[in-house]
Structure formats: structure tokens, C-alpha cells
Chains A and B, each alone.
Chain A
Amino acid sequence: MEQPQGRTGGKIGIKEFVAIVVIMIGTKITDDTTALLFKPLLNAAWMVPVINGILAIIPVALLMKVSTHYENKDLIDVSYHLFGKYIAFFVLFILWFIGFCFIVVDTAIYTDIIGTMYYLRTPSIVIYGLLMFVCAYGARKGLENIGSVAWTVYPYLQASLFVTLLITFSQGSTNFLFPLFGPGALEVIKESSFTISIYMDILYVFILFPYVNRTKDFKKGTWIAFALIAINMALALISYIMLFDYHSVAMQSYPYHEALRTINFAFLTNLESFIFPFWLIGSFVKFTAYLYINLLLFAKLVKIEQFKYLIPTFATLIVFLGLIAENPAVTMHQLKQTIAYITSPMFFALPILFWIVAKWKGEFKK
């Protein structure tokens, strides 16, 4: 039997790349990340993705310049090249560790969403186990297939979100968006910069750089995905505010699912069960991609060639770590908030550091 191989030896095209990135990061608006924004910013929370997005252009652009400067070198090789063996290892290890924490926290939260919103009596370990089983299976199939799946399902996920938003808009009120600046214009900008880590995951996307067909595709794809994520996030946040007003929305753990429970369309009074499958598919693909990228980073760090065999082990580890928390909706949320505050400056500083070192070493002149 021949080795399964695609046309470009395991590389992905721009469509697949964009789909992966959007599903990875865009699904954040359906979990408790929104709560991070609503609590301090109330009805101005929708501006965060926009302001953050503009702010995040700087680190992303700088990192883009550095990493695309070296063809066929991913973030890992580049950092070894720039920082030398020890510092690079340290930086990358931190990056990997944060990524790993994100996976544990997020999977625990998604398990909690499924558990509290749809499967009340099913034990968490079963929900969690199935979630990670699907993700592990997907991750084992490799990047090319993850990309294919992401691209196959992405239009439907986007359509389902779009339908939800449309119904929410029609059943909400624009008046809730005012006063425009929520807690005050200054506050908005201040808080935005604290929560810039919502785009943190873009850093991990750079690990995929050598696996994208062409440098041009990577550049274009990243920016397209970036824009799509910002637009989706802003629109979703607007829709939640329009439906609930800022008081209610700030108290909810999972506004997306609350919104699904509130809206109705024609004779269908309970839309949540119709949208739920799409959201689930999105979650599966999201964590598959996370798991794969995280393991890719890990494998490169400790120099393992065949990291596919690590996947089941890691998946199991994640399940048990994620189950430690007793009350995921609260503890995991707080943990996430803490990580978000810590990583925000890091997300901003790290790419700049990359660029400065590269500039200082005179890399761009070569």
C-alpha cells in the first residue's frame, strides 16, 4: 500500500490554512472568553476585537516580517537562529507551556459547556473523553487532513453562526449598544490592551508557516483569517449585547449558548439543538488543530521525529488535568483570566523582540 500523500507532500493551501486559523481562534466567541470582555467593558465589549485587532497588527506584522524572511524555517528554527540555543529553548518552552495550559483550560471549559447546557447527568469524564478521543484521532491524521476537514466544515459553521447572529439581531435592540463607550473611552482602550491575548493564538499559527504551500499564501491567509476573526467576534459581541443588554450579559458565563436558548425562529422555538451540532463540530476541529500544533511545537523542542505516537498520551493527560478542577465554570475561567493577563504583554513584546534581534543582527540585509 502506498503512503497516503497529498499533492504537495503534506502541505496545505490557503483555503485550508484560513479555515484552520478561523476555527481555532474564532470559536472563542462561543465560550467564556466573552465573559472576560463583558465584565470590565460592559456594552463597549464589542470594540475590543476591533481595537485589539488594530493593536495586534503591529506584533503580527513584525513577526510576519521576521519569519517569512527565512523560507522553510518555522518559528522554532527562526528563534534558535536568532536567540541561540538556550534562550530560544526557554522562550519556546514557555510558549509551549502556555499553549498547553490553554488547551487544558479550554477543553475543560468546553466540556463544562456541553455538560451544563446539554448533558446534565452525563459525567464529565465521558464527555471529556469523547471530546479528546475525536481530537486525538483527528490530530493523528496530520495537518493536511486537519486542513481539509476544517475547510470542508468551515462554510457550514460560518453559515450557522451567521444565521444565529441574524436572528439575534432581529430579536434584539440596537438601543442596548448605547452609551457608546461603555465604561468610558479611556477605559475601553486600557482594557483592550489588557485583553489583547485573545489574539495570542496567532503566535502559534506561525509554527505552521513551513507547512503552507507558498509564503504569499501564508501572509495573505493570516491577514484574511485575522480580519474574519475580528469581524466575527465584533458582530457576535454586538449581537449578545443587543439581545441581553449589558447587565444580563455581564452575568452570563456562556452568552452564545444563552442567546441560542433565547432566540426562536418561525415554528422552531428551541434553536439551540439545531445550532449545537455545528458548534460541536467547530469545537472538535478547534481542539484537533490546537492539539496538533502544540504537539508539533513540543516534538520540535525535544526533537522527536514521530510525534504522532505522543498524541494519545497527551490527549489522556489533558483529560485528567482538565478534570482536576472541581468547578470548571469558575476555576477554569479564573485561570483563563490570569493567563490572559499574563500573556497579553508577552504577545505584544515577543514579536517585537524577534524583530529587534533580527534587525540588530542585520538579518534583513542578507
Chain B
Amino acid sequence: MKIVNLPCKLALFSLFFLLLTGCWDQTEVEQLAYVVAIGLDKPEDVKEGLVEITYLIANPQSGAKVGGDEPPREIISFSVNDFINARNLANTVIAKQISYDLLRFIIVSEEFAKDDDFIKWMYDATKATDFRRDLRILVSKESPSTFMQNNEPLVDKRPHKYFDLIFKRGKETGTIPPGELFSFYRITESDANVFLGVYATTEQEEEGARQEDSDQIIAGEFDSSGETNTTQFAGSAVFKEGKMIDTLTIEETRLSFLLSNIFEKPREILTAMPDPFDEDYQLTTRIQRDGNIDMNMDLEKEKPTIDVTVPIVLEVMTNHSMNNYSDDVKKREKLEDSLEDTLTQKFEDLIKKTQEEFGAEPFGWSLIARKEFLSIPEYEEFNWMKTYPEMEINVNVNLRIDKFGRQIRLPDLDEVRD
């Protein structure tokens, strides 16, 4: 074969060589097991330094034409040193290579999150190359393995879709914080704020669940019945210095959203407010932050003061006392004043709680305060985390009622009943 000259031969040879051997990073899609969520828990009765890993693996076959009757997911739990190492150990049970390409969530048990060593495992995620930095941190009341097993959505069965939708909706309604991993790192490293993770559970509280205010609940306290999933995503887990210290209710989470410039504005917060004209009723309102909050800081003083002005735009959706606010300026003013007072009170309560119970705020005000300093040493000298509990904080709500629902006027109740 004189036709094929040497360079050609070499090229062909190297091509085949590469084709045969050069498949180092080559993996076929169908030979991967896609982990959607990783659970981390403290194993019981095992020596220190181990962690219980739970994998929630999506099954691509679910809903496919062939083999569509396979279950949508697979769950496996075991104890291991860290979740990098876990990938190999999982293969003793799982047939395919574990892939973190679809990984979107880290589920941590409340008990483990409150452990001092928790942060050490969290930093493993910065080492693994295929870990995305925008993973979300979810704290479950029970152990993650129980959480995942109990979580059986009836309709959105495919786990990645289910979590995706829950989070998207939660973000829009402001019931759960974003809880992204990179902000966890950032907040932990800067040591000035607390981080809000998502709080969830599959176990419903048995008694006294239903509280007076339907918003003052966290996951597990929402009383739902019927034929549906028992999992609840509500409220946030508060992490201070990389360790969980407390929880926030739905309302508190929403108030945090309103008080912070850092969080993305939730699109629709629907909440009930006391009706100033009738104590028996409540007004359902849609609240939005109207632009950024305005902060006025005086940090030079012995006792630093902060004046916070929160611009709120509000829409009154229901009107059970059947008052026609729209026609009466005085009534409107009264309504506005009342709502402003309620909100201010709520904000103040939350701030007080953060000052006294957490000793740090989740609103990211320290970032705004950074503008007051010229250099990082000065700022670190000030020590926001330490100073915060002693600060004097004045909240001022700047309320604007935007609309009164679709149909503005209501019939006079007395006339109707007459």
C-alpha cells in the first residue's frame, strides 16, 4: 500500500489510538445516575467524623414510552466520611456512575445543622468540581432519609421537577428564602449576618398546629387535609456562623424579604392584615416592596442608630367589613395609617427578635453599612455582628395603597340584607 504515506498513517494511527484510549472523561448519559438532592445527617451510634449521606436519584425512565412504569426515583442512605467519597460507595448498590450534574439541593437534618462540625462538611462542596455554587440548602426537621422517603408528591412525581417548582413558587410568594450555597459561604465568611436556609418537613404537628395567624407558621404547622403530599416547605432556618440557631416563620421570612435590599423582591406576598373598621375581620392584601429600602446610618455615635424607611405598595384584595374605602378619603387615610402601624409593629418585632435572639440580622444591612467605611480594617474594627444587638433601629413604613381589587365598590351590606 504505497498510496498511504507516512503522515497519513501516523494521523490514522493516532486517531485510532485516541478513539480507543482517549475516553478519560467520556461517559454516556444513560450510564449516569442523576442525583437531584443530597441529604446530610449525623449518623447514630457511629463514631465521630462520619456523616450519613442520602442520595435522591432521579430515574430518567419514569414516564418514558418503554419502561415508563418504573418508579420516578431511588433513595439510598449510608454512612461515609464525606460526600465526595460517597460517590464510589454508592455504587455497591447503585448500578450507574453517580453524577452531580442535576444536583440542586443539599438537605440537612435540623439536628446536624445545629452541630458545630456541620460547616466542615459544607466546605467539601467547594472542593468537588462538579458542585454548582447555586445549590440550595434545605433544612429538614427529621432526618433527610425520612424526609425524602416521606416526600411522595402525587402529581409532580419526577423529583427534579417537583423541587424546582416548589422553589420557584416559594420564591415568588416569599414563603421560603432562596438559601443558595454561595451566599451561605459568603455570609459565613464575612461573619456579619445570619444566613437563611429553607425549612421543610414531612411531619405534621399533631396538636395546636393551627395558630391564630395563618402566616405565623413554619413547616409542619400548616394544617392541610385531603389526598396530597405531606411535605411542607415553609419558613427559614437561621444559620449563624455556619451553624443553625433558630427558625423563622413564613411571616418573618416575608418581612425579612421586605426589609432587605439583597434578596430579590417576591412577586406576590398575599397576607392578611387587621381591618381597622371591624376587629372581627381581616383584610387580605398583596404587599410588595416599592423599590429599595432607604437606610440612614449614624455609626459614629456611642450607640449607633439606623433609620430604616421601607417603601411598601399594597393592594387590598378582600373587604369583609364591606366598607367602601374608595369613595371616602378619610376612610382611606385611616386604613393607610392602620396598615402602616401594623407593618411597623411587625417590622419592629422582627428586628427586636433578631437583635435579642440571634444577635445578628438576616437582612444584609451590614452590606449597606459598608458604604459608611473607607477601608476594610475600619469596618472590621467596627464589628457589625457584635454591634448590631446594641443598635437603635427606627423603622418607618412608607405605605401606598395601590388598588382595591378588580371591582372597587361593594354593595351596602345592610341594603342587601334588607
Binding site for B on A (CB under 8 A): 42-43, 116-117, 119-123, 126, 173, 175-176, 178-185, 187, 243-248, 251, 258, 261-262, 264, 269-270
Choice from A122, A173, A179, A244 contacting B379 with Cβ under 8 Å: A179
**A126–B17 CA distance with the chains assembled, in angstroms:** 12
Give the residue name and chain of the A residue nearest to B366 (CB).
A175
Residues 366-377 of B, flagged 1 when their CB comes within 8 A of A and 0 if not, give: 011011011111
CB neighbours of A246 from chain B (8 A): 376
Contact check: which of A120, A245, A270 meets B129 at CB < 8 Å?
A120
Q: Chain B residues with Cβ under 8 A from A42's Cβ? A: 376
Q: How many A-B residue pairs have CB under 8 A?
A: 83
Taking the closest CB of chain B, its distance from the CB of A47, in whole angstroms, is: 12
Chain A nearest CB from B31 CB (Å) reads 14
- Asked if A183 and B375 make an inter-chain contact with CB atoms under 8 angstroms apart, the answer reads yes
Q: Are B378 and A179 in contact (CB under 8 A)?
A: yes
Across the two chains, which residue of chain B brings its CB closest to A184?
B375
Q: Quick check: B378 and A121 within 8 Å, CB to CB?
A: no
On whether the beta carbons of B189 and A178 are closer than 8 Å, the reply is: no
9 A-B Cβ contacts within 8 A? A122-B25, A175-B370, A176-B370, A180-B374, A180-B375, A184-B374, A184-B375, A245-B190, A247-B190
Given A244-B186, A248-B185, A262 and B373 contact (CB-CB distance below 8 Å): no
For the complex formed, measure the closest distance between the CB of A185 and the CB atoms of chain B, giving whole angstroms. 7
Q: Considering residues A119, A120, A248, A251, which has the most beta carbons from chain B within 10 angstroms of its beta carbon?
A: A248
- Binding site of A, secondary structure by majority: helix, strand, loop or mixed? helix
Whether A120 touches B370, Cβ cut-off 8 Å, given contacts A182-B376, A247-B186, is no
The reply to whether A175 and B134 contact each other, CB–CB distance below 8 Å, is: no
Give Cα distance in the complex from A37 to B376, angstroms.
Answer: 15
CA distance A184 to B375 in the complex (A): 5
Chain A residues with CB under 8 Å of B373's CB are: 178-179
B376–A261 CB distance below 8 A: no
Q: Is the CB of A183 within 8 A of B376?
A: yes
CA distance A245 to B132 in the complex (A): 17
Interchain CA distance A345-B77 in the complex, whole Å? 58
Decide: B374 and A173 in contact? CB cutoff 8 A: no
Is B22 on the interface with A (CB-CB < 8 A)? yes
Kindly provide the distance from the CB of B17 to the nearest chain A CB, expressed in whole angstroms: 11
Identify B376's interface contact among A121, A179, A262, A264, CB under 8 A. A179
Also in contact, A121 and B190, with CB within 8 A (given A116-B129, A175-B364): no
**Closest Cβ neighbor of A176 among chain B residues:** B367
Cα–Cα, bound, A43→B24 (Å): 39
Query: Is residue B182 within 8 Å, beta carbon to beta carbon, of the partner chain?
Result: yes
The smallest C-beta distance from B368 to any residue of chain A, in angstroms, reads 6
Instruction: Say if the beta carbon of B166 comes within 8 Å of chain A.
Output: no
Measured CB to CB, the closest approach of chain B to A275, in angstroms, equals 15
B132 partner, pick from A183, A244, A262, beta carbons under 8 A: A262
Cβ–Cβ < 8 Å partners of A176 in chain B:
367, 370
Q: Is the CB of A248 within 8 A of B24?
A: no
With a CB–CB cut-off of 8 A, which chain B residues contact A248?
A: 182, 185-186, 189
Q: How many angstroms from the CA of A247 to the CA of B376 in the assembled complex?
A: 11
